[in-house]
Chains A and B, each alone.
Chain A
Amino acid sequence: MSGNNLVLPIVLWGRTAPTHCISSLLVMDNFSTVITGCHDGQICIWDMTPELEICPRAMLFGHTASITCLAKASACSDKQYIVSASENGEMCLWDVNDGRCIEFTKLACAHTGIQFYRFTIGTEKEGRLLCNGHYPEILVVDATSLEVLYYLVSKISPDWISSMSIIRSHRTQEDTVVAVSVTGILKVWIITSEVSKIQDLDPVFEEESKPIYCQGCQSISFCTFTQSSLLVVCSKYWRVFDAVDYSLLCSVSSESDQAWTGGEFIAADRVIIWTEDGCSYIYKLPASCLPASEHYRSDVGKTKEGSIPPLVYSIADRQDKQLLICPPVTRFFFGRREPFHKLLIQGDSAGRLSLWSVPDNSPLQPLSTAAGRDQFSGDKAVCPYCD
């Protein structure tokens, strides 16, 4: 945009909407918006009603390669910002409300994961973005300017980070970043959420480096219910670790050829794990993983793989599923406000979003399915404006 003229890009399409082969997924905190990124680089903004019905609202153009990750990027609830990263190192900051691209940068390497970290400087709430990808450290990026501020580096066996999780401490200002490297080493860094005006921007070295022999780690998540365990999902098995001394509490291998692609704690004693072909399974954790149980930590030190814990529910292949050309993306989100939904959401290569509500005791309720292409079709002109 140059001079005094405002240039509004407009996107038009014919009877069939553009393809949207979903590669990443994000549900905003207020549960009223869902963002999906696709392999062609476009981002779709969907509105979600309180009854959890979804409808696509806008499409954002700007990236030139497939979207690898999406994360929220604003600390205050009045600003709805997200950050997107693509395969060729591009990072964009978007305003979800009007689809504007606020900031753009291009780094040398691709990110495979970004997490928002809320930060306080004095009384101001700021945000930082912790990024991991095809490089051997974790980048701490300013959420407004997308500038790299400093690095979390490893002294011992520095290598690419497969997945990471931020564990916020309720008691102190020191939070923990727990990550697993591609060679299966667990790394722990301490970062502070409150800094003085003069910020220390030297690289931060790891507090701990422990081999946990988890190769091909797909996700790591902290149990916010018990505040004492970590779930690590790898393609061939999932494991629960003690979050204090990182000892192995239980290990479950996959029964068939299914490859696990992620998982989350959905209750103090339950986990949901999903596979590459879009199925999800809810397991009840064995007693050795539950702090409340007398058998807690009873399997620590034993090397044999445990038996498969009881399966509470499973979401299997749907007959009406269209032919998928690549693995779907599955994520789990907790609602932060009434009615505190626990939502399992999946986006597939047909541009379709499927939602399931995970209630506490009774089986899963499939909710709604929305297909972007069907809803976008028709002779509509949509104008998301992006710089």
Chain B
Amino acid sequence: MLNPQRSLSELPKMSAASQVERAVLEEEFNWLLKEEVHAVLKQLQDVLKEASRRFSMPTPGLESQLKQENFILGSSTMDQVKGVLTLQGEALTQADINLKVAKSSQVLHFQFREDKMWKLQQIQDARNHVNQALGLLGSRDESYHFKTGAEVNKLMDAVMLQLTRARNRLTTPASMTLPELATSGLMKMFTPPMPGDVMVNFYINLSKLCLTVYQLHVLPPNTTKNYRPAGSSVLHNPGAMFELNNNRFEVSQVHKVECVVPWLNDTLVFFTISLQLCQQLKDKVSVFSSFWNYRPF
């Protein structure tokens, strides 16, 4: 706005105009704090309440009343592994796995032992983060009076942090080392018991429920192969090696099958919408703060 060709006589007009502009901006900002913020927060709460509902939060003592959903995990191209998993809330209450052993027609069948279930911590964490976000919005309803833009921004930052965490829990499954997988409680939950050369793992990746099956073979002690223990990973590849109880193993085959969980997909969409709503509100507030900081000439 600094135009050196403007004549000096125009300066008083411009400062008067900028004063009027400031007054209008102040009124707009007040409107933002009083009306727009609450409209956006209401929308945000509605979306997050829908997301929270998808997680079917268990009432203590009534966990068994949660609905059970069955998911068929398989691959269209290969049928070495097929699984039917039952998800109840945040836990798998049944896992029916069929595994075709390589180079034979033998099919191994495993199921969870009676009353055993495997908790999917990713789902519980995502659910809790959504509820934390709702808690932050809970006391900021229509009756609350926001006094500054900074207050709105702080609230949006806190809500966005929880939503980002919720989304990350679903998109980033835990990395484990092969010995950790081998000694995890999951291996002991099956009937008939898992043979020593098979390992399974369950996790959530985005909106998909995944089952991975590792087939192992023991490395003979005088093998010519160069032993290098594999590190932590979400999914290990064939050829990965590890040591357990003085035996060395190598992964010979890896099978991964998955199935989309529709309600998890819904929640991911809700997270995206909510994060957008938060960011847009922050952007609206920042329009005004950039004006306050602006000093002509």
Contacts and interface: CB of A to CB of B under 8 A. Distances in A.
Interface of A: 21, 39, 87, 134-136, 157-160, 182-185, 211, 213, 216, 235, 257, 259, 276, 323-326, 349
B269 interface: no
Q: Which range contains the number of B residues in contact with the other chain?
A: 20 to 34
Contacts of B165: 134
Given A159-B128, A257-B143, A326 B151 contact: yes
A261 to B, nearest CB: 10
Given A87-B161, A183-B57, A276-B139, A136 B63 contact: no
A173 B119 CA distance: 34
Contacts, number: 54
B121 interface: yes
A165 B97 CA distance: 43
Interface of B: 57-61, 63, 119, 121, 124-125, 128-129, 131, 135, 138-139, 141, 143-144, 147-148, 150-151, 153-155, 161, 165
Tell me if A's interface is mostly helix, strand, loop or mixed.
Answer: loop
A270 to B, nearest CB: 26
A21 B153 CA distance: 14
Contacts of A21: 154
Contacts of A158: 119
Given A160-B128, A276-B139, A136 B121 contact: yes
B138 A235 contact: yes
A323 B150 CA distance: 10
A58 B286 CA distance: 33
Contacts of A276: 139
7 contacts: A136-B121, A157-B60, A160-B125, A160-B128, A183-B58, A257-B144, A349-B154
A154 B141 CA distance: 35
Given A134-B128, A159-B128, A257-B143, A235 B135 contact: yes
Contact of A326 (B131, B138, B144, B154): B154
A211 B119 contact: no
A325 B157 CA distance: 12
Contacts of A323: 147-148, 151
A159 B151 contact: no
Contacts of B147: 323
Contact of A185 (B60, B141, B148): B60
Q: Which of B59, B139, B141, B150 has the most CB of A within 10 A?
A: B139
Nearest to B148: A323
Contacts of A259: 138-139
Contacts of A213: 60
Contacts of B154: 21, 39, 325-326, 349
Contact of B128 (A39, A182, A325): A182
Contacts of A349: 154
A89 to B, nearest CB: 11
A257 B144 CA distance: 9
> Which of B60, B121, B147, B155 counts the most chain A CB atoms within 10 A?
B60
A259 B137 CA distance: 12
B60 A183 contact: yes
A194 B266 CA distance: 50
Among B121, B124, B141, chain A packs the most CB atoms within 10 A around the CB of B124
Contact of A159 (B61, B124, B143, B161): B124
A182 B58 CA distance: 11
B150 to A, nearest CB: 4
B139 A211 contact: no
Contacts of A216: 135
A257 B139 contact: yes
Ranked nearest first, the 8 interchain pairs of A and B with the lowest CB-CB distance are A211-B60, A325-B150, A259-B139, A325-B151, A326-B154, A323-B147, A325-B154, A185-B60
Given A235-B135, A235-B139, A134 B60 contact: no
A160 B135 CA distance: 15
Nearest to B161: A87
Contacts of B153: 325
A83 to B, nearest CB: 22
Nearest to B131: A182
A53 to B, nearest CB: 30
Contacts of A134: 125, 128-129, 165
A185 to B, nearest CB: 5
Contacts of B57: 183
Contact of B124 (A39, A136, A235, A325): A136
